[in-house]
Structure 1
Amino acid sequence: MKSVGEICSDLIRFDTTNPGSGERPAAEYVATLLADAGIQPTVFESAPGRTTVVARIEGDSPDALLIHGHLDVVPADPAEWQLHPFSGEITDGCVYGRGAVDMKGSCSMTIATALDLAARGVRPKRDVVLAFLADEEATGDYGSRYAVTSHRSLFDGVTEAISESGGFSVTSGNERIYPVAVGERGTSWMKVTAHGVAGHGSRPPVDNPVATLAHALSRVASYQWPVRLTPAVAALIEDLAEITGQPIDLDRLDAEAARLGSLGSLFKAQMRNSANPTMLNAGYKVNVVPSTAEAHIDGRYLPGLQEEFLSTIDELLGPKITREFVNLEEAPSAPYPSSFFDEMAASLVAEDPQARPVPYVMSGGTDAKSFARIGIKGYGFAPLMLRPDLDYFGMFHGKDERVPVEGLEFGVKVLTRLLTGSN
């Protein structure tokens, strides 16, 4: 049976860059591993090459848990990497390559756990649905959104789900903090357009849409969004104060986040909404004022704050700018405190007695948004024990992405405890 490190390495060697040729080869690899272990996979495509694998492992209760991950990755320029991003090379105790953290490493932990349970003939305490999805790095139209609409029955009985961006260790002194995500910010990707009067570039401006758009984007980029502490973020800050033994001043949270370093990064981007201009398009000739100018904005908002976010955006853009959504997704949240959160926490502590699990809200988004549409409560829990010097957040979409093999092995042990209840 392949080790978790070998599975991760194999998955990275499949170039599943999105946009690209699709996830089909990686999906077939996953389906073959599961089938050879006696776990029957369902493989389907939303478009040629855009392939998803779903399988169900029967447990002692039909009240099912979903473990989902995505097989696609963002682009990587080999010239910027020490090792080729699709080599999957294992060196210095780490698996290197695009997707090592986001999120083929997590997928490999799920696969290795499932294969081990099957090899030992161990039934989980509840049904477990495994989903290896296409297209998370875009909108999910070819992956999770398609899965929950066209293959809804595969998720019957699922009440909770776990996936990426939670359960990793952050070292502080002699303690390891493990943030477990109980929610994530909503997504508001927008195309904004300024309309004006076309004319010769040498003449005095009448209503230049490029200038109008530039001023509007400057207002958006420089706006200081107010702090809005959601219950989960407030609970995180309270826990961090207790763990560190130092009070955290709620009236100066930006300074406190900087003081706390890696611990501060757990709430720095999660205590307010945000909007970043990311793309620009205007004009076709240097001496022609165009009639329109366009830009894209990546907006993120906290649970319950969509209306406040959009009204602020409209005010910042001004009356001459129109906007349309490229992608609008709710900000999902999962119950906390909850018995299932306690189960995840107990599984971590059982494998790492120094573990201090805390609630956490993701700054970005995941496929949990799609599953929330069908009533599945999603948590971020892909357990990893990381080296203190490894910049976990910097690995996401960054160069020289890598994950420790020992960390993956730790994750398999934690997942096994969670699924079997052997804490």
Structure 2
Amino acid sequence: MSATTARQPAPVTAEDEVVGICQDLLRIDSSNYGDGSGPGERAAAEYVMASLTEVGLDPELHETAPGRANVVVRLPGDDPRRDALVLHGHLDVVPAESADWQVDPFAGEEREGLLWGRGAVDMKDMDAMILAVVRQMAREGRRPARDVVVAMFADEEAGGTFGARWLVDNRPDLFEGATEAISEVGGFSVEIDGRRAYLLQTAEKGIAWLRLVADGRAGHGSQVNHENAVTELAAAVARIGRHPWPLQLTPTVRTLLSGVADLTGTRFEPEDPDSVARLVAALGPAARFVGATVRNTSNPTQLGAGYKANVIPGRAEATVDARFLPGHEDEARATLAALAGEHVRIEDIHRDIALEVPFEGDLVDAMVAALQGEDPGAAVLPYSLSGGTDNKSLARLGITGYGFAPLRLPPDLDFAGMFHGVDERVPTESLRFGVRVLDRLLGTC
């Protein structure tokens, strides 16, 4: 071997790049306030465009409104006859109040093996893993097993109006031939009775963001008023917020809890709330997600009425974030209407479907194999997400979506609690693990 050859630098790999890419993305403020007042995703989308173009790919940028930008690129697969896979992330993040954080939420700071910042778990970690793997494959001239549509969407945190929903409705050709998709909030590890298990997302609750409106009789604050809009609204809000929704286990949740029972050597009694609660608690930090998927939920989130202390307003409003289980939307809506009462009407702010897909098939087998290829002996179980993802929009095209952002996590890290929370952070080793798993998956699925 010549001296010149010996000095050749080692090829750059996805594991080498993923942490730096994630830091770069965290340093781009793409906060989505839901009212059009944020910075938008354009800067993050331009970063993605540059990252993909640099390795010879030809991505497209789709700006659906000023500053609201999406990036899509199609990777040809080894077998073009097979149905395509959509590999997607979102570039927006929920806002962060700097005063509440230990670090600047947009500094991308690394501390003791953890990357801190808004989006570190939701979901610029997965965005970085996707970019790192795709860049390595492009540099090496490797193709995925089948066509892969890589999409980085805008506006996921406000329902996808300027992101996945817009592209699905206006540019369905971008997803031609795609039948399956993978994205966020699945494939992460938990520890169950001393054994590591990965939760693969196969379901997600439906969304109903609702406005409660009470109309009454305006008047002087000193007078008797039996048509007080604030009184009617407050009573409705209290009934909805305190309603004890009944236990209802979907097939996904039943399969998950049965698996947890097997790992812990305990009995699973699906009709017994105490049995369900014990098995949910065995999931550690992930119990935040799973505990909200054993029933419908309804949380009042905003209140608004009046303009002066001595004036009874003629109108009062509140918002409610209701999440319904797959197959239970109609009964949930009927229950909410009854709880609101005859003097309070309900208006839709945003609605979207619930999803539940099988924990079986070639793609599921490939995801399980990719995880166990990097973590032999680990269990893989399905679970339902209490929130929602852009897979809801893709489902309008008949695309079956899974949550699979693979991360091997320390058992004491409150991963679920950091979604939309303060001090969001992800271990750098988890990112490196994730790119190894994704690389395996794209080569085999």
Query: TM-score scaled by structure 1?
Result: 0.97
Residues 322-378 of structure 1, C-alpha deviations (whole Å, 9 max, x = no match): 111110101022223323212111110110013211011100011111111111111
Question: 1:73–1:300: structure 2 CA closer, same or farther, 3 Å change rule?
Answer: same
Amino acid at match of 2:55: A
Identify the residue that residue 167 of structure 1 maps to in structure 2. 187
Is the Cα contact below 8 Å between 1:347 and 1:418 reproduced in 2? yes
The equivalent position to 1:382 in structure 2, one of 394, 405, 414, is 405
Match in the other structure for 2:25:
11
Residue 383 (structure 2) aligns with: 360
2:42 alignment counterpart? 24
Amino acid at match of 1:255: A
1:374 and 1:148 map into 2 onto residues whose CA distance is 7
Mind listing any 5+ residue stretches in structure 1 that lack a counterpart?
none
Does 2:184 match 1:184?
no
Secondary structure, aligned partner of 1:8: helix
Q: Which residue of 1 aligns with 2:94?
A: 74
Q: Deviations over 1:112-141 (max 9, x none)?
A: 110111122211110111111111111210
Correspondence for 2:215 among 181, 195, 210: 195
Alignment equivalent of 1:34, drawn from 43, 52, 71:
52
Runs of 4+ residues over 6 Å off in structure 1: none
Q: Is the 2:192–2:263 contact (alpha carbons within 8 Å) kept by the matching residues of 1? A: no
The question of whether the paired residues in 1 share the 8 Å contact of 2:192 and 2:283 is answered with no
In structure 1, the residue matched to 2:241 is: 221
Q: Match for 1:11: what amino acid?
A: L
SS in 1 for 2:144: coil
1:107-126 to 2 correspondences below 5 Å:
107-126=127-146
Q: Which amino acid aligns with 2:234?
A: A
How far apart are the structure 2 equivalents of 1:321 and 1:215?
10
Partner of 1:46: 64
**Does 2:115 align with 1:95?**
yes
What's the secondary structure of 2:333's corresponding residue? helix
Q: Number of residues paired by the alignment?
A: 422
Residue identity in the other structure for 2:67? G
Matched residue SS, 2:394: helix
CA distance in 1, matches of 2:22, 2:398: 31
- Measure the CA separation in 2 of the matches of 1:178 and 1:340: 16
Give per-residue Cα distances to partners, 1:287-328, cap 9 Å, x unaligned.
Answer: 111111100000100111110110000010011111111101
In the superposition, relative to structure 1, how do residues 72 and 372 fare at CA in structure 2: closer, same or farther (>3 Å)?
same
- The residue aligned with 2:364 is 341
1:78 corresponds to which letter in structure 2?
S
Tell me, yes or no, if structure 1 residue 252 matches structure 2 residue 266.
Answer: no
1:257 Cα offset (Å): 4.7
TM-score normalised by structure 2 residue count? 0.92
Q: Deviations over 1:371-415 (max 9, x none)?
A: 111111110000000111210011111111110111011111111
Q: Give 1:258 deviation, angstroms.
A: 6.1
| Structure 2 unmatched ranges of 5 or more | 1-11
Quick one: distance in 2 between partners of 1:236 and 1:32? 41
State the identity %: 49
Tell me the SS of whatever aligns to 1:17.
coil
Could you say which residue in structure 2 is the equivalent of 1:238?
Answer: 258
**Residue identity in the other structure for 1:406:** E
**After alignment, is 96-105 or 54-63 more displaced?**
54-63
User: How many angstroms does 1:61 deviate by?
Assistant: 2.5
